[in-house]
Amino acid sequence: MPPDVLTGPPAFAWAGLTPAWRGALIRLGLVWLALIGVFHFDWANIADQWWNSSTYNHMLLVPLIVGWLIWQRAHQVLLLDQRCWWPGLGAVAMALLVWVLGALSGFDLLRQTGAVALLPASLLTLTGPKVFAGLLFPMAFMALMVPFGDEFIAPLQMITAALTIFLVKLSGIPATIDGVFIDTPAGLFEVAEACSGVKFLIAMVALGVLVAHVGFRGWKRRAAFMALCIAAPILANGLRAFGTIYVAQFVGAERAGGIDHIVYGWIFFAMVVAAVLGIAWRFFDRAADEPMIDPAAIAANPWLTRLERTSSAALPTIAGLAALVAAALLWARAADGLAAPLPGSIALPQVPGWHRVDYAPAAPWDPRGAGADHRLLGRYADAAGHRVDVFFALYDAQREGKEAGGFGEGALRAGSGWAWLGEGQGIDNAKTDRLRSSHGVERLAETYYRTGSLLSGSNVALKLETIRNRLILRPRTTMMLIISAEERPGHAARDDVAAFRHAAAPIGPWMDRIGSGR
């Protein structure tokens, strides 16, 4: 591309663009608007989480940052050749496959990732590999538009609890820990989900990625800075939790909690960010006025030049992109219409050596099975004094609003007064959780998922099997079973659950019997 592609000043000016670049930008803008419109449901969910979830409020800035990053490269990128490149449809197909997998499994993270990935994939397709190389970092930064981080809450709770109890004991305060609960003379403290530090961590990761790219040239310094951006918020969150407990010993737990929210929300976060940037500042080796990319090196790159030879006309390329989008939507719609036949009613069956008793928990416990076509909740007891509660949910399909393994589904219902205490003893094909109510009642819950021949406590395994079934348009029922027991004097919950599991074994066929209505 001749260097006079911009006939005006170095800054971006529409009037100074060649007709070819104007046409390319118009096509790209229209295609992006169309993709956002077609996948508006996913973009609306993304925006809703940005606006309404404090964990993701920082993501409101990501589109602005992407725009700024593109602007910083605009003059250099416009010196490059742009052309439609039909092999880029492979990237579009991959993004659509991710979206389809998310749609088939009811996994919003995949759906949203696919919807966002369509933008850089279409840019590659409509402008070619050299332009894409020039905009590689802004396109990669778009990944931070996808709301993610909930998956890290539980491990971060445990890490914060471990750091906190270490510091509490180091300070000389007598304390004991049980899962995420720390008992001190000033009261019982819980490292709740909101105290896990996940919002601080993912905000720091986003900031770290931007600063590492803008401030450093070499990958070693970038990697070291990113390690600092990950470690600092985790360690700082443990220190914050310790500070709350320490202050509570003098002013009381309630007052210390109020101080913690103010300080952590407005002061502590800013202090940690300032400290991280202060440590890194002296190691910055990229000048503020240094160009973000080298267009001459990109234009002369032999690999990119070879790739660009397979260019294509605009109209058939856009038609191919539209055909891929239509195929993905039709595939997802066909799978979404699948529903396995269900019995008219189901009931908890007899279990050898056990009998049904009135359901009367010491603290109200009602697992969540939103969208289930049938739900059962009952209590069993045996002659030895064992007692368990059994929850069963049956679904004719897995789709939006009917997700057995969805966030907030299962043993721990949000806002129920129950808190996650930690993982229970490992059991084959089950997920075990220890729960604690606001009344101090503790409970063990074993969760099993069943679809076809799969029996697992893994939400990931359930989603993979759901995807496999729906990819080939095979309707299958899905079942969720929770066997749970309260901790009682003289009766350990794990012994009660183990005794029932042994009597009902094998669990998979037992679940099948309930789901079939027999």
Nearest to 269 by CA among 189, 201, 191, 194: 201
Measured between alpha carbons, how far is 95 from 459 in angstroms, rounded to an integer? 23
DSSP string of 234-294, one letter each residue: HHHHHHHHHHHHHHHHHH-HHHHHHHHHHHIIIIIHHHHHHHHHHHHHTT--S-TTS-S--
Q: Residue 196 has what pLDDT? A: 84
What are the domain boundaries of the chain?
A: 3-10+20-148+309-336, 150-281, 354-516
Residue 5: predicted pLDDT: 44
Taking residue 33's Cβ as centre, other Cβ atoms within 10 Å add up to 10
**R_g of the chain computed on alpha carbons:** 28
* Per-residue pLDDT at 3: 41
Q: What is the pLDDT of residue 266?
A: 61
First CA to last CA distance, the chain: 73
Q: Note the pTM of the prediction, 2 decimals.
A: 0.84
What's the gap between Cα 333 and its chain centre?
24
CB 134 within 8 Å of CB 160 = no
Q: Is 2 buried (19+), middle (13-18) or exposed (0-12) by CB count in 10 A?
A: exposed
431 DSSP 8-state letter: E
Q: What's the mean per-residue pLDDT of the chain?
A: 91
Length of the chain: 518
The per-residue pLDDT for 13 is 66
Beta-bridge partner residues of 375: 393
Q: Which two tokens stand for residue 257?
A: 């909690």
pLDDT at 268: 80
Q: What is the pLDDT of residue 11?
A: 46
Kind of pairing, strands 418-423 and 431-437? antiparallel
415 token code pair = 């806002």
Residues of the chain scoring pLDDT < 70 = 1-13, 15, 253, 256-266
Cα–Cα dist 342/144, whole Å: 41
One-letter amino acid at 152 equals: F
How far is 404 from 473, CA to CA, in rounded Å? 19
Q: Which of 399, 332, 329 is nearest to 34 (CA)?
A: 329
Confidence (pLDDT) at 328 = 96
Measured CA to CA, the distance from residue 205 to residue 227 in angstroms comes to: 9
Task: Give Cβ neighbours of residue 221 (< 8 Å, ≥ 6 apart).
Answer: 212, 283, 285
Sign of the alpha-carbon dihedral angle for 450, 455, 458, 461 = negative
Instruction: Compute the distance between CA of residue 398 and CA of residue 201 in angstroms, rounded to an integer.
Output: 32
Residue 150 has which token pair?
A: 């909930």
Q: Using CA atoms, how far apart are residues 181 and 493, in angstroms rounded to an integer? A: 19
pLDDT digits (tens, 9 = 90+) for 416-445: 889 999 888 888 899 999 999 988 999 999
Q: What angle do CA 474, 478, 482 make, to 5 degrees?
A: 165
